Amino acid sequence: MNIGALIGELFEHAGEGWAYAYALAFVAMIADSAKPKASEARHGRILGAVLIAANLITPFLLFVAGFWAVRDGGFIAWAVVVAAIFVLILVPGFIGWFVGAVAPNAGRLFFGIAPVLACAALAFAVYVTWAPVSAALETYVLQHLISAAAK
């Protein structure tokens, strides 16, 4: 199995907007991870909470929308969605850490714009994934409500 073909199939089924939202979230998470030193440059409490929330909600929305797009594709298609989300969560952390360590000034710049990028990524992900996420949640919530009512 060609992994490139599987990823292409995911992007084809999930849509071009999903791929753009994924890329924007990837860049936002790189920026969030790019602070040069742990003791340096922190966001305020509220801004930090917004950044954390955006970086948690965005991959969840992309996961649900990707899962919904390949729901009939079988285990391999589902595994590609899970792998894509793991890449989205793990790889930007390493890239951002490397940028912060190698180029501290660039790391500070990226870390400074991280809240804007994270909020933009969240807003775009909500826009792109609204229909599939709401369809998936309605389907699964209604299935459980109907099965619970039948008992």
Q: What is the pLDDT of residues 26-73, one digit of tens each?
A: 999 999 888 777 655 566 778 878 888 998 999 999 999 998 888 887
Secondary structure (H, E, C), 42-69? CCCHHHHHHHHHHHHHHHHHHHHHHHHH
pLDDT in tens, 10-26: 888 888 999 999 999 99
pLDDT in tens, 69-84: 888 877 888 888 888 8
Q: Where are the domains of the chain?
A: 3-150
* 135 burial via Cβ count (<10 Å: 0-12, 13-18, 19+): middle
In angstroms, the CA 88 to CA 59 distance is 7
